[in-house]
Amino acid sequence: MKILHTLPREDGFRMPAEFERHRGCFLIWPERADSWANGGYAARRAFTNVIKAIARSEKVIVLASFAQYENARVSLPPEVKVVEMSTDDAWARDITPTFVKNDKGELRGIDWGFNAWGGLYDGLYFPWDRDNKAAKKMCDLLDVDCYDQQSFILEGGSIHSDGEGTVMVTESCLLSGGRNPQMTKEEITRHLCDTLGAEKVLWLPYGIYLDETNEHVDNVCAFTAPGEVVLAWTDNESDPQYPMSKADLDYLQSVTDAKGRKLKVHLLPLPSPITVDEEDCDALDPMDGEPTRVPGDRLAASYVNFYISNGAVVMPAFGDPNDNKAAAILAGLFPTREIIQIPARDILIGGGNIHCITGQIPE
């Protein structure tokens, strides 16, 4: 593996869309007791269901700590590769390298700086050094060269690409004080284009209400095809999410993508608000003597947080009437892929969902 100090765009590399073909997918075996209830037992069951669903159509690599390696190995099917690697938590989306490719099909990774979604300004845990070192190790594991972008703070969940020159982000996340406050919006736009091989960045105003990542785009809006997106939506005008999604919709209807196309926006209904109860909170270890959840906390639940595998769309289910409605909408948008719903509340307790725990490796 070579460490590269050039810019991917200069080398002819671009970020593919998630709906393009994959070589495989990374996940991380959960165990952190202040993130995952009861030391991760329920989360590991949910992760296992996600892993099995993805493994039906592409290779899955699961990273596990020394303490959990044997548990992961015996819990997962033999076709799933399990590799011992140190991380601070299990959010693969945000610490996996962003993979870029060129017209010859060559693959490289980008190693962004990771500071647990805001560092000492408003980050979610400390330290985060093992997470910050994981991307290079993953590139080494795959034998692909790696662009050093450690000076720029970015998480995989904060960017979406259509594979044709358009990247989508949220202002609430990328302009937050804990990311790159020394840079202007215009400078960040330019840097994203240079590193992701893009021509245009779409800046949605908001993400999902109370999303602890400063509102990652992958929880509110996702490309389903060139020129088409799904947007998390509620018709309840008294819900705090309504003005946020409405502002995003107004923005998306006012812009074009890098190819000059008006975007076709499909509204994906949100589940009813999901909150944590006392039992959930009692099952979580405190962090630095403080609880990580308190009863009544609203979780950032969204059906947009799905993963597109080679053969399926693996999406969360919440036991909500909108589970079936959301699945039907995605089935219409992905007619060649199976829609697989995974009960995901035990992942949501950790703060994210299925897209957040996965990181695709393009073919």
Catalytic residue IDs: 356
**Pairing mode, strands 166-170 and 160-161:** antiparallel
Measured CA to CA, the distance from residue 305 to residue 315 in angstroms comes to 7
**138, 97 Cβ separation under 8 angstroms:** yes
Measured CA to CA, the distance from residue 208 to residue 219 in angstroms comes to 6
**Pairing mode, strands 338-343 and 312-317:** parallel
Residue 75 has which token pair?
């819990």
Residue 344 has which token pair?
């995901």
Measured CA to CA, the distance from residue 159 to residue 171 in angstroms comes to 11
**Pairing mode, strands 228-233 and 107-113:** unpaired
**Pairing mode, strands 264-269 and 274-275:** unpaired
Q: What are phi and psi of 280, to 5 degrees?
A: -60, -45
**342, 53 Cβ separation under 8 angstroms:** yes
Strands (E), the chain: 3-4, 22-28, 59-64, 81-84, 98-101, 107-113, 145-153, 160-161, 166-170, 200-204, 221-225, 228-233, 264-269, 274-275, 298-299, 307-308, 312-317, 338-343, 359-362
The CB-side HSE value for 147 (13 A sphere, CA atoms) comes to 26
| DSSP per residue, 38-85 | GGGHHHHHHHHHHHHHHHTTSEEEEEE-TTTHHHHHHHS-TTSEEEE-
